[in-house]
Every structure is written in C-alpha cells, then in structure tokens.
C-alpha cells in the first residue's frame, strides 16, 4: 500500500514569540502591501536589525510570501537582515560619507582613523546630502559636520544619535505671513486652474529634479487623464553633491507644502504621497510635526497626504523606482511607456514632482510670471538653486540666475576658490552630469546649454575641482558609486558599471573599450542611472586626456 503523502506549507515556520512581537509592534496599523517598507523600518528602529524570525512573522501578518518580504528587506542599504545563526550588528552604526565632495575633504583618512570599539559599527556610506559640510559622518541619525576623528569620537561618547531640530518657519509664522491664502483662494473659486497653470507655464518654471520638463505643461497633461489621479513628491535627493531640498525643508517647509497643494489642485489630484530619503531624519521630524498642524489648523479641506520613508537607495530618485518603493517593493525602474503621468502609483495617473519645483509656485503666482522669467542670464529664464561643494570658500545652496556661468557662480556667490587652489574643472550636474574643464567655465548653467559638451545640469549640483585634484580620480569615485547603487535589474548597468570601474582603475585606460562599453550602457540601460553612468568617464577622456594615458 502506498504511503499517504502529506501536504503542507513549505519554508520557514513562524516562531511564536516573533509572531507576538510583530502583533505588538504593528498594533492597529494596516497590513497593506504598500506599507511593507514602513513596517520594516519599525523593526529596524526597534531592534537594530531584521531577524529571519521577524521577517517570517511579518510575512504571515501581511499575507505575503517570505520571499517578497526578504527581497525588499535585502534591497535597501538601511535594513540589516540577520540570518539565523548570524550575530546581529552593534546597536550603534557610524556612517562615513565617501562620495566625491567628502572624498575631496579627506573622508578616506577619517574612515581609516576611526576606532570606536566593538560596540560601534563603522562603515562607508554614499552621499548623505550634506556636501557643504564635508567630510560628514552620521552617528546613528546625528550628523557630524566637517567631521574629524575627535569630533566623531566625542559624539559617540556623548551618545549623540538623534538629528537635532533646526529653527524653521512653522505653521503659525507662515500663515501670518500670508501663507496658505493662495490655496484657500483656489479652493474657494477665486482663482482658476487655467489662470494658475498659465502663470506657471509663462514663468518658464521647469522640473528641478533633473529632467527639466515644463511644470505648467505637466499639470495639464496629468489633469487630462481620467480620475482618480495621485501625486508623488520626490525628495529622495541621492545624487552626490545635491542638498538643496534638505536646505529648503529645514528652513521653510510650508512654502513647499502649499506649492504642493496648488500643483495637486491644478492637476485634479485627489491624494498625495511624499517620498523622503531616510538620511533626512531631521526633515522627517519637521514634516511629521508640520503636516499634523496643517491637517488640524487649516480651515479648508485637504486631500489625504502620506509621508513615506525611503530606506537608502539612490535608484529611488528615478520616478518609477520611487513609485515602486512607495508601493512597498524593491525600487526597480519600470519600462516606459506607459509613462507615470498615464499609469503611475497604484496604476493611477500620477503627477510626479521634485520638492523644489513646487517650492517656487507660491512666489511665482504672487509676483507674476514675468518676475521669475526675467531673473535669468544669457537668455535663460528664472532662478536656480545651486548646491555648491568642493574647493570653494563658501560652499552651500546659492540661489542664482539661471544661465550664470560657473566662473561667475564661484566669484559672485562662493567667495572664490580656496586659498592656494586654482580652478581646474567642475561637475555641473552632480555625479551624472559629467566633468568639464575650467576652459568651459563660461558656458551658461541651465537646461539644454551643456548637452553640446556631453554634460547636463541635472539637479544643479556643482562640485568644483582644483589643480590639486585629478578629474580621473573623481570619475572613479563616481563610477564606484554607480556600481554600488545599480538596482541590478538590467545587464548593461549592472555589469557595465562594474566593468567600467575595473577599466578605469588601470594605470592607462583602454579608451576604445571604455567608449564601446559606454555606448552599450547608454543605448540599452532601462533608466537614467545606467544611461548617465558613463558620462564622467566619457568627459574625462574628452577633456582630460593627459590623465588617462
């Protein structure tokens, strides 16, 4: 007689204690799939890591497969997955930024010199968005600016692990200064969508996250799609050298929030999601507090507004990867078409905006399209928030006319070059925008002006190099960043960035092979990360041939 076959669930069983800990920690929070990353943060914050037992119990509670939970947990840098039998990491982690601005300021020596004992984990980290204060170390969530070995050791000894709150314009102060009158007038019928859209379109305001698409036109495109429509605000800001969004959020968050509400109203959006990078713990505290006040104290109806927390992945700055992350998945870019304006978050038409784009909306509407449009130089329109770092006396966010040249920016806004440093080269658009020589320092900085030189402005992250630096070393730093941040979805990017870095680490670059590899990456990568990753190598070979043999 045949033995009766037993059927049952395969895979890891759920530990009874872990099941109870999941129940207690989640409380009454919904168990929806799109909240998976939020729930993973709860366990990472509470226990300092994600155990296999907790992941299995969380999968059961959310009615997901363990594979789905595990693949998301292991995708993001800020989740520490500890397998059965492994030792959990120390309770405190110190991250030392090793992106280009911090490397120029000596982060490698800082990382090498830190010895904080077995109770503290020290590791390198990609850009943390504080490039004006390089080098930077993050103790828990506490940023140590212009860090030295002694200042980091002091922060650890004092148990400074929480990000301090900076002074900012709160709800009451903003409202007393005329804040929220514009959106109130819009909702009361005193302004029309057509009127506001025309003002914004005539002003020349374009997307300030990098793509540069006309803001007013984008509103019209989304509004023409069938309801329901949603909005996703991108504050991932992981591009090395970029920190303008953090700068504005730490000072005037309600100007951003009102602009966001106006954009949503003009586009017929019924629900809003704000995606904020995990490195910005201080900004998250501000937004949580001020969103709560906004919902309680406004006299007009608000759409549902959700604040979502990233988990350490540069790729989520790409709009469709961000949408995947908001949905609780790995941040992997989608193939297009369809575009997110047609099929985006949860399958709905989606208005996707960078935070700074909507930050300007109130001022443009109040002062008029001509005010903003007239502020540019060299035939360009508007203002740009330049995140400047590197070898200048006054790094920081400098609001300057669109079309200003980098030489003018350095001289008029940055106090000139550091003493003893001569201007050698610059990155006009962060890691993706390529590296240009000082001889091209008179090219206007704006959308469409840099492309003929193999570069672009992107998020206007300007990193200045001096004669003490090598552009080839900068390019290696950037390619290492792209290699580590590739989501791995497509072969040209996943394999191409690794192969390019290997070739660039040779004393003499194999330029024909690098050119061929770069072309393959630009032609076949799914998203902008792989398509733009070769730019630093290509521009160095073109403009700094003496450095690469």
pLDDT band at 3 (very low <50, low <70, confident <90, very high): low
User: 228 preceded by cis ω (within 30°)?
Assistant: yes
Encode pLDDT of 449-462 as tens digits. 999 999 999 999 99
Residue 19, Cβ density class (10 Å: 0-12 exposed, 13-18 middle, ≥19 buried): middle
Phi, psi of 489 (to 5 degrees): -70, -40
Encode pLDDT of 179-192 as tens digits. 999 999 999 999 99
Structure tokens, 485: 């941040």
Neighbours of 503 (CB within 10 A): 16
Q: Annotate 231-298 with DSSP letters as a single string.
A: EEEEE---STT--HHHHHHTT-HHHHHHHHHHHHHHTT--EEEEEE-TT-HHHHHHHHHHHHHHHHH-
Which uninterrupted H or E stretch holds 483?
A: helix 471-485
Tell me, rounded to whole angstroms, the distance of Cα 318 from its chain centroid.
9
Encode pLDDT of 508-535 as tens digits. 999 999 999 999 999 999 999 999 999 9
Which uninterrupted H or E stretch holds 94?
A: strand 92-97
Q: Taking residues 416-430, report their average pLDDT.
A: 97
Please say if the pLDDT value at position 8 is more than 50.
no
Whole-prediction pTM: 0.96
* Residues of the chain above pLDDT 70, percent: 98
């Amino acid at each position: 007689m045949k033995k009766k076959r037993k059927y049952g669930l395969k895979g890891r069983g759920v530990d009874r204690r872990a099941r109870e800990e999941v129940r207690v920690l989640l409380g009454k929070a919904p168990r929806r799939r799109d909240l998976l990353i939020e729930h993973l943060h709860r366990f990472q914050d509470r226990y300092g890591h994600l155990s296999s037992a907790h992941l299995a119990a969380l999968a059961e509670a959310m009615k997901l497969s363990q594979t789905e939970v595990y693949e998301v947990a292991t995708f993001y840098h800020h989740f520490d997955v500890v397998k059965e039998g492994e030792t959990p990491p120390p309770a405190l982690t110190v991250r030392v930024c090793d992106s280009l601005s911090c490397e120029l300021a000596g982060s490698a020596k800082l990382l090498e010199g830190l010895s904080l004992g077995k109770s503290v984990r020290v590791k390198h980290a990609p850009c943390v968005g504080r490039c004006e204060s390089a080098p930077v170390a993050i103790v828990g969530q506490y940023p140590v600016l212009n860090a030295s070995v002694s200042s980091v050791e002091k922060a650890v000894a004092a148990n400074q692990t929480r990000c301090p709150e900076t002074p900012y314009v709160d709800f009451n102060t903003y409202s007393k200064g005329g804040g929220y009158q514009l959106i109130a007038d819009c909702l009361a019928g005193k302004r029309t969508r057509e009127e506001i859209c025309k003002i914004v379109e005539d002003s020349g305001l374009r997307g300030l996250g990098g793509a540069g698409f006309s803001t007013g036109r984008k509103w019209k495109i989304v509004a023409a799609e069938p309801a329901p429509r949603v909005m996703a605000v991108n504050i991932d800001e992981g591009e090395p050298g970029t920190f303008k969004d953090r700068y504005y959020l730490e000072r005037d968050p309600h100007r951003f929030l009102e602009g966001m509400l106006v954009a949503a109203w003009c586009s017929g959006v019924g629900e809003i999601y704000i995606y904020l990078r995990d490195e910005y713990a201080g900004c998250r505290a501000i937004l949580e507090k001020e969103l709560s006040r906004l919902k309680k104290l406004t006299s007009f109806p608000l759409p549902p507004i959700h604040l979502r927390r990233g988990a350490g992945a540069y790729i989520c700055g790409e709009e469709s990867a961000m949408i995947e992350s908001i949905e609780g998945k790995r941040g992997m870019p989608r193939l297009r078409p369809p575009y997110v304006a047609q099929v985006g978050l949860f399958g709905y038409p989606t208005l996707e905006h960078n935070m700074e784009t909507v930050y300007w909306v109130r001022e443009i509407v109040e002062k008029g399209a001509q005010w903003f449009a007239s502020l540019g130089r060299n035939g360009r329109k508007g203002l740009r928030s330049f995140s400047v770092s590197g070898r200048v006396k006054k790094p920081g966010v400098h609001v300057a006319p669109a079309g200003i040249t980098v030489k003018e920016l350095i001289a008029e806004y940055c106090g000139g070059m550091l003493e003893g440093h001569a201007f050698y080269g610059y990155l006009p658009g962060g890691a993706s925008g390529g590296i240009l020589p000082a001889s091209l320092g008179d090219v206007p900085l704006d959308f469409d002006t840099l492309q003929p030189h193999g570069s672009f402005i992107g998020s206007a992250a300007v990193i200045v190099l001096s004669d003490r630096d090598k552009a080839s070393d900068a390019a290696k730093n950037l390619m290492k960043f792209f290699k580590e941040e590739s989501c791995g979805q497509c072969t040209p990017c996943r394999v191409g960035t690794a192969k390019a870095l290997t070739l660039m680490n040779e004393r003499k670059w194999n330029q024909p092979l690098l050119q061929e590899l770069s072309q393959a990456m630009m032609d076949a990568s799914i998203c902008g990360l792989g398509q733009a990753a070769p730019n630093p190598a290509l521009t160095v070979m073109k403009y700094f041939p003496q450095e690469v043999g």
